[in-house]
Amino acid sequence: MSEAIHCESLSNGLVLVAEPMGWLESAAFTLLVPAGCVYDPAERSGLANFTCEMSLRGAGRRDSRRFVEDLDNLGVERSESVSDAHVRYSGATVSANLPAALGIFADVVRRPHLPPEQLEAARQVMFQELRAVEDEPAQKVMIELRRRHYPDPWGRPSQGARQAIELITAEEIREFFGRRFRPNGTIVGVAGRFDWPRLRDLVGELFGDWPSGDESPVEESPPQRGSTHVAYDSNQTQIGVAYDSVPYRHPDYFPAWGAVGVLSGGMSARLFTEVRERRGLCYSVYATYHTLRHRGGVFCYAGTTADRAQETLEVLLGELVRLGQGVQTHELDRLKARIKSALIMQQESSAARSSAVARDWYHLGRVRSVEELGRLVDQLTCERINAYLAEHPPQDFTIVTLGPHALEVPRGVS
């Protein structure tokens, strides 16, 4: 049983939200800074990602090597990434080392060195990320799908573009950091074993005097949508299909999410069963739910041989249309069992919960406990899901294919 979730808002706008998990010996943090790739200038795509990489090359009193050594000495398992809205830093360690780990990352987001002499080494890391995408056609097609389905800049890839990364200067990185790394909008999520009064006071000491920054709205341009083909010399074809759904904060999120779980929630789900197992059309197929703060989408993928690509696209779209006709009780029961297993495992992971509490605060302005999530899952019924699907059937698809030949979209589907 989870203990009470704590929250503290600092005067500069930073929010600390923490969930005690006293049965664990670990503690984890997730630090969300409102500096994601939607804030990249159009001609400097990848600037947020470049800034994140540079921020890890020394901060506060630590140079780049000392930074890594101190985290290793504390046993911190860390990761960092850039999403549409945030630069994300996370770490997990034994509970006694949480204060020291938070202190190091306070330096990262407030006092990074951003050393000009390491600019070119960091640039090579950016190029390696881009090459990894080029070498992975499945990722390439899904990046293009998201770019076309969401309004710009919400569909931008965090990796950026090579031409832009080649031009980014140390001064531009420093300017972006000064403009976007700010406490107002920053969320610190903590979960695991900790003493709340001490944690609250520590975060106040580390971040309380961080000056607030300006908040500028994101200007959107309409999405491209429709269908497109990306020529790619290969014997395989990658297929991506997306359609609109509701965001995490929407009252209908769980029925919408449950429908996608029936579509693609394990090897008994519809896509795997129909497209791969029964027909043998592809080597990989799935659908995943993605949510921004203000809109959501379902993104589907199938990887197949070029000679079976047309049939794969037709069957995939047919299954999406069939989903609009509703789900059955045995499908929902199977999905609930999988979800409850995942929730139980989340209770055993401070890292998973620190990420969840930070995410919840960003989307909802509050945190859903594991118990609340369990109740919401229990309340899911076929009637609720089917009522949602009747009103919001999968339709108006964005389609991207990547391979040697363009495919024909069936009439009346897109």
Q: What is the reported pLDDT for 1? A: 45
Establish if 145 belongs to a structural domain.
yes
**Residue 181 and residue 302 share a domain:** no
β 227-231/398-403 pair status? parallel
**CATH assignment at residue 294:** 3.30.830.10
**Residue 231 and residue 198 share a domain:** no
Paired residues of 402 in beta bridges:
230, 238
**Residue 394 and residue 341 share a domain:** yes
Which region among 2-6, 245-249, 308-312, 317-321 has the lowest average model confidence (pLDDT)?
A: 2-6
- pTM beyond 0.75: the answer is yes
**Residue 17 and residue 157 share a domain:** yes
Establish if 333 belongs to a structural domain.
yes
Q: Which amino acid would we find at residue 57?
A: R
Q: E strands along 133-262, which residues?
A: 187-192, 227-231, 236-245
Radius of gyration of the chain (CA): 22
How far is 105 from 306, CA to CA, in rounded Å?
47
pLDDT band at 215 (very low <50, low <70, confident <90, very high): confident
pLDDT band at 414 (very low <50, low <70, confident <90, very high): low
Sheet of strand 227-231: strand arrangement: 227-231, 398-403, 236-245, 296-305, 284-291
Q: In this structure, how many other beta carbons lie within 10 angstroms of the beta carbon of residue 402?
A: 24
Q: Which amino acid would we find at residue 106?
A: A
**Residue 247 and residue 145 share a domain:** no
Residue 211 exposed, middle or buried by CB count within 10 Å (0-12, 13-18, 19+)? exposed
**Residue 351 and residue 232 share a domain:** yes
Q: Give the domain extent around 372.
A: 227-403
Which single residue is written with the structure tokens 């069957």? 315
pLDDT band at 199 (very low <50, low <70, confident <90, very high): very high
Render pLDDT for 275-292 as a digit per residue (tens, 0 to 9): 998 899 999 999 999 999
How far is 13 from 253, CA to CA, in rounded Å?
28
Render pLDDT for 228-269 as a digit per residue (tens, 0 to 9): 999 999 999 999 999 999 999 999 999 999 999 999 977 888
How many structural domains is the chain composed of? 2
Residue among 114, 154, 158 nearest 132 (CA): 158
